[in-house]
Each structure stands twice: as structure tokens, then as C-alpha cells.
Copies of this chain bind each other. A is one copy, B any other.
Amino acid sequence: MSLSAVHTRDDDYPTRSSKEEWFKRKDPAFWGRWSPQAPLTRAQTEEFEKNGFLVLRNVFSDAEITRLQEESQRLRSGEAGLRSDNVVTEPGSDEVRTIFRLEDESPVFNRLARDERIAGKVRFLLDDALYLHQSRLNYKPGFTGKEFYWHSDFETWHAEDGMPRMRAISASVLLTDNDALNGPLMLMPGSHKYFISCAGETPEDNHKSSLKRQEVGVPSPDALSEMAGMFGIEYASGKAGTVILFECNTMHGSNGNITPFPRSNAFFVYNAWTNRVENPFAASKPRPAFLANRDPKGPIEIVSGKIQ
């Protein structure tokens, strides 16, 4: 398909064209209906809908958190026999920055991805069966952890992966204690209500550089200044085990980290089953499978009970 064909396609969220534009969001953030049986309180549900993110504390037992941390260490030790195309290293070093397709690389994280305490809440918010669009283990080492610049995940997933609607939620499970100083996730509360159509055509194989430093598909400094003025910036800190649910269009990023304290988290992108990806909306070819699952076998099976 040629780029011009892509651009003439019917599209509520056009992007990567010649100029930056703001559009109001055309999808709900909360797709379900709240009831007293819901897995989130009414206040939590409203907070998610209003801010585009929600922090969940004390989700796991200490033993479960330790189990996840041990598994994280094992995966990064070099002894886990990871597929090399699932691993991204820090710029200028061999240190592991990210492990993709986490549910394939680890039974423990596969189990975590399907845990009712996370996936059950996401299923409620999206009101649909779920599959994993992407999953990864992020590791921001102490001293040299690099920044992730501001972006909306949906902008990339729509443009480069072909995700049709804003009907996906990411869950970040903190595996280290996170405070203001070791590069925590920063979010602009309420920013999910606007879609920033980004200027600039998608380069061939954009993901190869954008995983290290994103340059296309990010808002201009002027737009980011305006958004920060409208919405402010909050950061999500907490003890290991804290879970941050954030809507696919919430503007977020993180600073670098010169403290000795690493920052690590497991990251799962849940997409609604009926929102499966199509052809990219603004790229000549789709990104590879480790970044965007194009062929899910079926919805994930959500399970309850302790992680062991």
C-alpha cells in the first residue's frame, strides 16, 4: 500500500501529516458501566476517566513481589536464553534496557499479565475481552538511565501498528521502589482527552531509532508547553508492587536517572479484542511482531489466586 493510499483512508485520528493539529478524543476512556460489583470503586473509575491513569497500591503480597523481582533478575542475568530480537540495550552500552514479549519469555510474567487484579480491572474499564498488544520488562539502570521523551502511545500504535480506536490500557507494575528522583513515569492528567496529530512523515523502520530516542510522532515543544500548562505534570511513585494503569492516549515520559537506584517495571499493553490492529494508518509497513502483536491466538485467560 502506498502512503497516499494510507492517507486517504477514513480516519478519526489522522497523524504524521504536514502540520500539527489538536483533535478532541472521539472514544470514551471508560467503556463499561459501573456497578457495585465492579472491580474498581466508583471513585477509582471516575479518576481513571478524568485523569487517564490510576495508581493501585498494595495489590500483591510481599512474597509475590519478591517472586517477580527474582524472575526479573533471572531474565536480565544473561542465563535466561532470551531471543535476541526481544532485547534492546542502553545507548552506548550492553546493559539490557528492555525485554519484549515478556509473556513468551517468562511463565511468571505470563501469569502476572493474566492476573485478575490487573487484567480484571482493565477488562472492566474496556468492557471487552483482552489480548496483549505489547509487553515488556523495562530496566532503567542507576547512574546512566536515559530519558523517555513525551509521547502518546496511541499515536504510534495507530500510525505505525494500525490500532483503530482508543480502546487500550497499559499496566506498569513497579519492580523497584520509585520516587521522584530515579526517573519515574510522568503523566499529564487529562491529556488523554486530546489527540495531538503529529507533524512529519514516518521514516522507514522508524521503530529502530524511536525505541532509543523518539523523534517522529512526538508533539512539538509548543504543544507540550501548552498541554503542561493546561493539565500539569504528575509523577507516579510508589513501592515495588505498585500498579499504574494508564490510558493509551495519556501523554507521558520520564527523565533520566543519575541516582544509584535503578528503576524497573513490567509493562503490559491490553488491547480490546474488538480493537485488533489493521494496516498502519500512517506508515508504509507495520512494525515487527515484538512491538505489536498482529496475530493474537485469542483473548487472554484471566486467572485469580496468588502468583507463585
Contact = CB atoms under 8 A, between A and B. Distances in A.
A255 B143 CA distance: 10
Interface string A115-154: 0000000000000000000000000001100010110000
A258 B150 contact: yes
A39 B180 CA distance: 33
Interface SS, A side: loop
A225 interface: yes
A238 interface: no
Interface residues of A, number: 24
A183 interface: yes
A225 B258 contact: no
A22 to B, nearest CB: 16
Contacts of A254: 258
A78 B33 CA distance: 58
Contacts of A261: 228
Contacts of A255: 181, 183, 255-259
Given A255-B256, A255-B258, A255-B259, 19 more contacts: A142-B225, A143-B221, A143-B224, A147-B256, A147-B258, A149-B258, A180-B180, A180-B181, A181-B186, A181-B235, A181-B255, A186-B258, A221-B260, A224-B260, A225-B260, A228-B260, A228-B261, A253-B258, A255-B257
